[in-house]
Amino acid sequence: MRIVHVTSKPVCKNFYSLIKQKERELRHKGRGTLHRTGENRWKHVSYPGYIDFYKANTSISIFEVKSKSEKSNEWQLLHSFLGFLDRHFHKEIESITILYRD
């Protein structure tokens, strides 16, 4: 499991809402590789596993990247998620910290 800790810039009022809104927008357009499967859970279309996310406060969001693969291909799901964050939110993010938990 990888834990991704995202801190948004002070000008961003609610990063958690922005990320959920972007997923909805992409889904309605028939685009994107991360799709909602539960209230706070996303699944990737190609890589086995899921991403759970939580709101710590208005500027801090926590994401747990968990792979279902026995081959430990968690890096692919993590890589895809970090690419999503960078593509869509590079102006709103101040820092990203990755914690490795096994």
Look at residue 53 and give its three-state secondary structure.
Answer: strand
For residue 57, the model assigns a pLDDT of 87
Q: Which helix (H) or strand (E) holds 25?
A: helix 15-28
Here the tokens at position 35 are 């799709």
Structural domain including 65 reads 2-100
Specify whether the CB–CB gap between 35 and 26 falls below 8 A.
Answer: no
**What CA–CA distance (Å, rounded) separates 36 from 50?**
10
**Residue 60 sits in a domain of what CATH number?**
3.30.70
Each residue's pLDDT tens digit, 47-90: 888 999 999 988 899 999 998 776 667 889 999 999 999 999 99
Vertex 37 angle, CA 67 and 76, to 5°: 30
Count structural domains, the chain: 1
How long, in residues, is the chain? Answer: 102
